Amino acid sequence: MRWRSVFTLAKVVTCILATVAVIAALAWSQAQPSTSTVVDETSGVGTESSAPSEGPAWAPEDRAIFEEKVRFAAERGLAEMDLGDAIVQLAETFVGTTYEPGTLEVPGPERLVINFRELDCVTLVETVLALTRFAREQGVEALADPPGAQARYEAHLTALRYRGGRLDGYPSRLHYFSEWLADNEARGIVRIATGDLDPDIDSEPVNFMSRHPEAYRQLSEPGVLRAIAATEARLGEGPGREYVPQDRIAQVADRIRNGDVIAATSTVEGLDVAHTGFAVWRDGALHLLHAPLVGKSVEISERPLAERILSIGSQDGIMVARPVEPPRR
């Protein structure tokens, strides 16, 4: 995996690093100075990081969309149908939603951001999975208690977005998507299915953030760069990351299911994943439901997934994760 062009880098980073807050020109890295000392649980590195000082803010529009999606799920019986099909049906309701990078980068300490109106490729995945789990665990009846319903949704979203399901400052966010997959698998939210698809191993280090600290305002805070570098070092341990090379995707497509999480691997040095979305089967072909930079809104790809990856120089394969059924009500 090597650099292809500055233009390619800009496109790749704009999407996937909406989660990791890259590219200042696109409003990445807007957190304020750190205010308290925390410890990265996996590395043991002490960091002065932004502990959350306030709860998530729900705009009236977001409350309305949340209730609309939950009622849609109830009307369609999404709590009873196959999990993958339920995910796809709920994800399809976001088609046309505005693509917006950097929505997690808000003023002040790191906090949970709720935004149904604007999505990037990662927040689309997190939002749909959190909504699906809410619909299957709490259901429409929970809307009778709005504060309680919002708190349960926040818990689902926090579990997806932060290491160990615990929001503890900027370093606790799952910045690299390969770690997002592993962390959510460890807590039973997804099962990484790449190993079932005749994968290869990518052993190149993941270190884009620490190699480009100037692109992240948060990394200028005391201890934060050290914590991120420690996370990168931990991610570099072991034999490497499994992925399906782009020229094999068509051969294994029939083993990928509706609603599987797709992570397109990156050709950018130091970066593991370039793009994310959901697997969607249409007319016998596997497509990608995603929030692309090109197009500026959530869409289902015109080309089948295998053709799409082959046509993009900044992507060279995929990782696949299968959402796991939450506990039934």
The DSSP string of 178-213 is HHHHHHHHHTTSEEE-GGGS--EEE-----HHHH-G
Q: Give the pLDDT confidence score for residue 22 in this predicted structure.
A: 34
How far is residue 69 CA from its own chain's centroid? 20
- pLDDT tens-place string over residues 108-117: 889 999 999 9
> What whole-number distance in Å separates Cα of residue 122 and Cα of residue 275?
8
In the DSSP assignment, the letter for residue 140 is: G
Contacts 24+ apart (CB under 8 A), 233-238: 233/43, 234/42, 234/43, 235/176, 235/178, 235/179, 235/206, 235/272, 236/205, 236/206, 236/207
Q: Give the pLDDT confidence score for residue 328 in this predicted structure.
A: 66
Please report, for the chain, the start and end positions of each structural domain, with discontinuous segments joined by +. Answer: 6-323
CATH class of 6-323: mainly alpha
- pLDDT tens-place string over residues 300-323: 999 999 999 999 999 999 999 999
How far is residue 82 CA from its own chain's centroid? 22
SS3 232: helix
- pLDDT tens-place string over residues 89-147: 999 999 999 999 988 988 888 999 999 999 999 999 999 999 999 999 999 999 999 99
Which residue in this structure is represented by tokens 């606790």?
Answer: 172
Q: Give the pLDDT confidence score for residue 82 in this predicted structure.
A: 97
Q: Are 89 and 288 in contact (CB under 8 A)?
A: no
Q: Band the pLDDT of 28: cuts 50, 70, 90.
A: very low
Q: Are 260 and 193 in contact (CB under 8 A)?
A: yes
**Structure pTM?**
0.85
